[in-house]
Amino acid sequence: MHDIICKRLLDLREEKDLMQKQVAAKINVAQRTYSSYERGVRSIPIEALSKLADFYNTTIDYIVGRTNKR
């Protein structure tokens, strides 16, 4: 499951042509923390998942791979 989360976070970020530090700032975490989410090194807290879903205009279910529908 971590693999799909990592892939989706990377894809969503790259689709918007953003750098990790830009996304990290939007969800109020350090770039290093966001990088660890994207690499699957650290679990993503629900608050951060919620912020990411809002930021990318998608659902938590999409980010975590429970659905392919954005």
- With cut-offs at 50, 70 and 90, classify the pLDDT of residue 2: confident
State yes or no: pLDDT of 1 exceeds 70. Answer: no
- Residues sharing a CB contact under 8 Å with residue 25, sequence separation 6 or more, in sequence order: none
Q: What is the C-alpha radius of gyration for the chain, rounded to an integer number of angstroms?
A: 11
- Give the domain ranges of the chain: 2-64
Decide which of 35 and 2 is more confident: 35
Q: 2-64, which class in CATH? A: mainly alpha
pLDDT digits (tens, 9 = 90+) for 15-57: 999 999 999 999 999 999 999 999 999 999 999 999 999 999 9
If phi > 0 it is left, if psi is from -120 to 50 it is alpha, else beta; for residue 17 that is: left
Question: Any idea which of 1-5, 7-11, 22-26, 30-34 has the lowest mean pLDDT?
Answer: 1-5
Q: Is the dihedral of CA 6, 12, 13, 14 positive or negative?
A: positive
